[in-house]
């Protein structure tokens, strides 16, 4: 999928089961960015990936692979862990409540996409919204202030999907690879570290 429009959390996108690559002519119905959901950590008034520590910024970002020199295709590719990670569905409203610096939100992804049973990896990404904590307090104020800094809305978690799908489309269920994990009750393991770097489309580091 390509569009001219405009990781990763703990247990964010378990990459079990086969993946499916979609781009351009392979997915003619995906003519808009797709909606995804993930978590970050708030550090010193900035938004960072929970595992890689990469800083997220306002505006479109493009993933680059720094793990492997074996592929020349743009991230993500099937046999690597590069790309921006996101889930198909929002986290539970209380999923980020256990840590004072953890925040959930919505993103739009486009370009090359790798679809997995429970989530996806994308070539390009843009922040859409942050989810406000359920309870009022200092954390809620920090999330609201960070959202203002990034120029995106901070909304109640129950409205996150609604806000995201005003600007991006969900991945149709029929495009998602099946979950072939033999034990459905077993918690999926962490995906391999995705050493992606959030870079502007013009290719300069920030």
Residue the block writes with tokens 């870079």: 199
Please tell me the predicted confidence (pLDDT) of residue 71. Answer: 77
Distant-in-sequence, close-in-space partners of 177: CB < 8 Å, separation ≥ 6: 17, 18, 19, 20, 115, 116, 117
The tokens for 155 are 């909304």
Please tell me the predicted confidence (pLDDT) of residue 78. Answer: 85
Please tell me the predicted confidence (pLDDT) of residue 72. Answer: 80
The tokens for 89 are 């569905």
Distant-in-sequence, close-in-space partners of 36: CB < 8 Å, separation ≥ 6: 86, 87, 88, 106, 107, 108, 109, 119, 120, 122, 125, 168
Please tell me the predicted confidence (pLDDT) of residue 23. Answer: 52
Backbone angles phi, psi at 60, to 5 degrees: -65, 145
- Structural domain boundaries of the chain? 20-175
Closest residue by Cα to residue 103 from 114, 95, 111: 95
The tokens for 38 are 């993930």
Give the predicted TM-score (pTM) of the model.
Answer: 0.75
Closest residue by Cα to residue 9 from 90, 119, 88, 85: 85
The distance from CA 166 to its chain's CA centroid, rounded to whole angstroms, is 17
Please tell me the predicted confidence (pLDDT) of residue 200. Answer: 31
pLDDT digits (tens), the chain, 206 positions: 333 333 332 223 333 444 555 554 444 445 579 999 999 999 999 999 988 889 999 999 999 887 756 678 888 888 788 899 999 999 998 999 989 999 999 999 999 999 999 899 999 999 999 999 999 999 999 999 999 999 999 999 999 999 999 999 999 998 888 887 755 544 444 343 333 333 333 333 33
């Amino acid at each position: 999928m390509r569009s001219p429009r405009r990781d990763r959390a703990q247990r964010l996108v378990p990459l079990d089961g086969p993946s499916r690559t979609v781009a351009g002519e392979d997915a003619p119905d995906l003519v808009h960015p797709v909606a995804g959901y993930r978590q970050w950590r708030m550090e010193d008034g900035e938004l960072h990936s929970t595992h890689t520590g990469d800083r997220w910024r306002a505006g479109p970002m493009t993933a680059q692979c720094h793990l492997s020199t074996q592929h020349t295709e743009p991230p993500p590719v099937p046999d690597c862990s590069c790309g921006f990670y996101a889930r198909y569905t929002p986290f539970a409203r209380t999923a980020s409540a256990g840590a004072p610096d953890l925040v959930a939100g919505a993103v739009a992804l486009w370009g090359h996409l790798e679809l997995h049973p429970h989530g996806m990896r994308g070539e390009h990404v843009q922040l859409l919204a942050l989810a406000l904590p359920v309870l009022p307090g200092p954390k809620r104020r920090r999330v609201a202030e960070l959202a203002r800094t990034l120029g995106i809305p901070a909304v109640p978690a129950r409205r996150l999907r609604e806000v995201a799908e005003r600007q991006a489309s969900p991945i149709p269920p029929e495009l998602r690879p099946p979950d072939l994990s033999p034990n459905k009750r077993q918690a999926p393991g962490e995906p391999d570290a995705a050493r992606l770097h959030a870079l502007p489309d013009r290719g300069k580091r920030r």
